[in-house]
Structure 1
Amino acid sequence: MKNNILLGAFLCFIASVSWGAMFPVANHAFNHIDPFYFTIFRYLSVTVILVVMLLWKEGKEAFRFDGKGLSLWFFGTMAFTVYNLLIFWGQDLLGEPGVMIASINEALMPMISIVIVWLLSRNRPHGVTLFFVFTAFVGVTLVITKGDFGAFITATSDIVPSLLIFIAVVGWVVYTMSGSKFSEAGWSALRFSTLSCLLGTLTATAVTLIITYTGYVTLPTMETIKIVSPHIAFMAIFPGLIALLGWNVGVRILSPLNALLFINFVPITTLAVQFFQGSPLTVYDYIGTAFIIFALISNNIFVRLTQNNTTPQVLRKRLREVLSLLQKH
């Protein structure tokens, strides 16, 4: 059990770090290509690799939808159309500030997931979990704003791009929370990842072709594709293939809410990339990082203590039932 938790944490960490690095890489690519075709070229490559992997590992039978085609298309669209197209579109519209704005919006995922669960189940999350999620978000905010909250508010004043990014983040939260449904049905993480990516990418491709027909974007030339090919290769392998599979496996081990806490490493990684590009670290970076690490470790300890306390309660209940039966006899 302990090894599984460590594996899940490691996979979610790797996925989050990979996604944190993708925003600066994408920002550089947007100097040459629009975010729509950039996303399509990236995930068409990922889809082909996943299809080959699934065919080799599980065979043709794994490509059956088993009556889940509609829900699989919906969740795939949330991740590979809504999230991938909108978050990069919003980032591109915001320009250079969009890199960090898109990144910090990722840190809202745990809070969004709690609200969604709250609305659907009408069960209020434990106050301790809410506290740790809020603590992690405060840490991310300190890192990004450097303590200057006024500048942060000003940077996000462009409503439309910011709204696109927020909707994108909600899309990924919905996708993350859907994984357990397919896991309970006996689907492997590879099968769920492949088929959801396939259907979602087909939808994103159709949307991009429609937008191209309207003239909003144009089909990139071979010269443009050649220039951004290193960016696409990086995005396909690390934030695409490795992060997608690692994330879906990690979510199954840790649960969606615990996995989403690792999303706080996305803006930290983005900040680290910018630091290597010449941006100096401040005291707010260190304090914010400490907040995030504290929230992740503390919530993990709290979850374990809660799980350990459940077993004695169940045993005491069963013991009372047995004693009651003995007294009757």
Structure 2
Amino acid sequence: MTNVSRWAAMLALLFATAAWGGLFHAGKLVLNNVDPFWFTVVRYTGASLLLCGILMLQGKVRWELLREHWRRLASLGLMGYGMFGILVFIGLSYSVPSHGAVIMATMPITTLLMRWVFERQRPQLWAWCVVALAIFGVSLVSGVWRSSTGAGHSTAFGDLIAFVGTVGWIMYTRGQASVSKLSVIEYTTFTAILALPGLFAFAVVATLLGYANRPDPADLIAAIPPILYIVVVGTVLAALAFNKGVRTLGAVHGIVFINLVPVSALLISAAKGSVPNGSEMIGTLLIIVALSIQARKMGLGAKAAK
């Protein structure tokens, strides 16, 4: 890996995490008109069409790889685009954008624990300290320690749903290594295409059970501006940039960059006039400190391994 490719990967990851910071604010606007299930269908239908166009512009499409790995790609797409996309925005409907971004930033910590479960790589003592620090930070941001009544109500329920959703994105990120024959654009496009039938089925079932409402055309038209940002910038460009960074630096190192998502989200909140309260700022700072420690420890470990 050259210095140029390493820096290009880091810039790609920085772009992706900055775009995701804005995604939560745009998503909150969409949720005023469209529920999370149908919003996810609309989001990834548009993203799939755009990704297919980009892929075809690059030349011959290797559809045979899609047919060869369709089961694996479909399951990864449902975890990354379905589980993550739906649950995070259900959680957002009970919470606020800055909280969703902070929950997303805990993915490096969750990844550490998942490696212990699936790969038997037991975390060291410093890692447990990082986990404890990050969890305490999340509890401050979510308002777990505040009364459930009044203006400063707890958003713990929505934040917990969003946290469960992030596990799907971690599995999607880790799964990229299992289909290394595919390029970044192929992996991103094929998983999006194969996830669509499942996403549509989830939305239909949720509607029949009364958990979702099919949006009216007027609702979709009213939400066009934020949907365009989410589809083009927050989904297609961000996913391509993130997968490119992960392909170059590896899943564990790539996910560490997600600690910048709450920073961009909080800056956007402040710019809109919604200044974070003291516990939110302290909690976010604790999470960033925890993730910075993890990133430094991982970097030192990588150097020692060389």
Q: Given the two structures, how large is their TM-score scaled by the length of structure 2?
A: 0.85
- Per-residue CA deviations over 1:11-42 (Å, capped at 9, x if unaligned) read 12211121111112111222222222222212
* Higher relative helix content: 1
Q: Which runs of 5+ in 1 are unaligned?
A: 312-329
Change (3 A) 1:214 1:303: closer
Equivalent residue number for residue 179 of structure 2: 182
8 Å CA contact 1:55–1:62 kept in 2: the answer is: no
Comparing 129-138 with 258-267, which one deviates more in the overlay? 129-138
- Per-residue CA deviations over 1:171-205 (Å, capped at 9, x if unaligned) read 1111111111222xx21111111111111222111
Equivalent residue number for residue 115 of structure 2: 117
Residue 255 in structure 1 maps to residue 250 in structure 2: yes
- Per-residue CA deviations over 1:115-162 (Å, capped at 9, x if unaligned) read 1111111122355556556666666777x47xx76239861343xx44
Amino acid at match of 1:180: A
Equivalent residue number for residue 16 of structure 1: 17
Comparing 193-202 with 212-221, which one deviates more in the overlay? 212-221
Equivalent residue number for residue 30 of structure 2: 29
8 Å CA contact 1:104–1:141 kept in 2: the answer is: no
Change (3 A) 1:286 1:211: closer
Change (3 A) 1:130 1:263: farther
Amino acid at match of 1:165: A
Equivalent residue number for residue 169 of structure 1: 166
Change (3 A) 1:304 1:106: closer
Q: Which runs of 5+ in 2 are unaligned?
A: none
3-state SS in 2 of match to 1:64: helix
8 Å CA contact 2:108–2:291 kept in 1: the answer is: no
Q: Given the two structures, how large is their TM-score scaled by the length of structure 1?
A: 0.79
**Aligned ranges 1:1-329 → 2 under 5 Å:** 1-62=2-63, 64-65=65-66, 67-92=68-93, 94=94, 97-128=95-126, 144=141, 150-151=145-146, 155-158=154-157, 161-183=158-180, 186-280=181-275, 299-300=294-295, 302-311=297-306
CA distance in 2 between counterparts of 1:163 and 1:136 reads 14
8 Å CA contact 1:136–1:264 kept in 2: the answer is: no
Provide the aligned length of Structure 1 versus Structure 2.
Answer: 301
8 Å CA contact 1:90–1:164 kept in 2: the answer is: yes
Comparing 207-216 with 278-287, which one deviates more in the overlay? 278-287
8 Å CA contact 1:140–1:268 kept in 2: the answer is: no
8 Å CA contact 1:139–1:288 kept in 2: the answer is: yes
Deviation of 1:206 (Å): 1.8
8 Å CA contact 1:63–1:195 kept in 2: the answer is: no
CA distance in 1 between counterparts of 2:223 and 2:196 reads 20
3-state SS in 1 of match to 2:56: helix
Change (3 A) 1:2 1:220: same
8 Å CA contact 2:110–2:167 kept in 1: the answer is: yes
8 Å CA contact 2:13–2:242 kept in 1: the answer is: yes
8 Å CA contact 1:133–1:261 kept in 2: the answer is: no
CA distance in 2 between counterparts of 1:2 and 1:294 reads 26
Which structure has the larger Rg over C-alpha atoms?
1
8 Å CA contact 1:44–1:201 kept in 2: the answer is: yes
Amino acid at match of 1:270: A
CA distance in 2 between counterparts of 1:138 and 1:18 reads 26
3-state SS in 2 of match to 1:60: coil
Q: CA RMSD in A?
A: 2.9
Change (3 A) 1:4 1:231: same
